[in-house]
Amino acid sequence: MSAIPNDDQLLDAYSIAVTSAAARITPAVVNVESNGGHGSGFFFTPDGFILTNSHVVNAARAIHVTTFDGTRYEASVAGDDPHTDLAVLRISAPTQIAATLGDSDAIRPGQLAIAVGNPYGFQCTVTAGVVSALGRSMRARSGRLIDNVIQTDAALNPGNSGGPLVDSRGEVIGVNTAVIAHAQGICFAIGINTATFVAARLIRDGRITRSFIGLAGQTVPLHRRVVRFHRLDGQPESGVGQPLRLSSGVLVVSLEPKSPAARGGIREGDVIISFAGNRVANVDDLHRLLTENEVGQPSEIVLIRGSEKVEKSIIPAPADGR
């Protein structure tokens, strides 16, 4: 007579992956309450810093955070960036369990994606699905386009905003931020690589000052023939400088009228590979380079147009001065 299998033996590989990932991330997830509503967040450092969505806490008069063990804290806003719909909160409670952060550049469509949050106030709700697509763009409530957004079909509801999207290892790959109303299984998360860059600046300065060039882009691979022809994977023709070793760039999907990019001669369909002398392999690279230092300064932008390499000069404007 065979032995009766225990609960662990009854779990299939998918269930084991979801339960393991949820167990790893859940202690870092918090419930965020403000006069504007409810949302979620998660500790990304052990000394009380929490990542959440800007729209959850923006202009809130009072914010409270409830941790996994049920303790309620008053929270302060360390920094807020409506342009990426990200905010950092802090509570006076050190030695928290921080989430392990993954790499949103390494994820692939079809891989497991698990969302944890507090939809409608139901604490630490777990939903699972897959990464549906990468490189999406969505408009923040500020009106600025957020690029390189992750699309997932892991179910999100009001209250999930600001919670983590994790992979099968329980590592955070995104910050859940939005759903398409009246659609099923179309949800979005901001890539964790973008989120950590923004969070670091918010902790340091409380806000992010950006330069603005006025285009929406997404990361695309470069054709191998283009890479070889223009020596993007090796030493430049002059023999001076470091090799580029580029295999991807940023496709210009759309341009804002009369923007610095439009005035500088950039066109839809161009693929940006360099900005201000720095390599641009993906949208995150471009975001990092559009700092306050570029405002009003002529900046060389190198792009692939068809099969040709083209150089243009643009003068970025202050992001808040459009």
Domain boundaries, the chain: 1-208, 211-321
Q: Which of 177, 173, 156, 153 lies closest to 165 in space, CA to CA?
A: 173
Q: Which CATH class for the 1-208 domain?
A: mainly beta
Q: What is the pLDDT along the chain (322 residues), one digit of tens a residue?
A: 556 556 665 568 889 999 999 999 999 999 999 987 889 999 999 999 999 999 999 889 999 999 999 999 999 999 999 988 999 999 998 889 999 999 999 999 999 999 999 987 788 899 999 999 998 888 787 666 787 899 999 988 888 999 999 999 999 999 999 887 777 788 999 999 999 999 999 999 898 878 889 998 998 999 888 888 888 865 444 444 444 567 889 999 999 999 999 999 999 999 999 999 998 988 878 877 888 788 899 999 999 999 899 999 999 998 764 4
- 55 has catalytic annotation: yes
> Is this prediction's pTM over 0.95?
no
Based on the residue annotation, tell me whether 161 is a catalytic residue of this protein: yes
Q: Comparing 1-208 with 211-321, is the CATH topology the same?
A: no
Give Cα 103 to chain centroid, integer Å: 10
The catalytically annotated residue of 55, 83, 230, 287 is: 55
Q: Is 64 a catalytic residue?
A: no
- The CATH T-level fold of domain 211-321 is Pdz3 Domain (2.30.42)
Q: Which of 34, 54, 161, 299 is catalytic?
A: 161
Residue 138 CB neighbours (<10 A): 15
Please pick, among 38, 80, 83, 85, the residue that the annotation labels catalytic.
85
What digits encode the pLDDT tens for the residues 253-293? 999 999 999 999 999 999 999 999 998 988 878 877 888 78
What 3-state DSSP class applies to 319? helix
Report the alpha-carbon distance of residue 122 to residue 268 in Å, rounded.
44
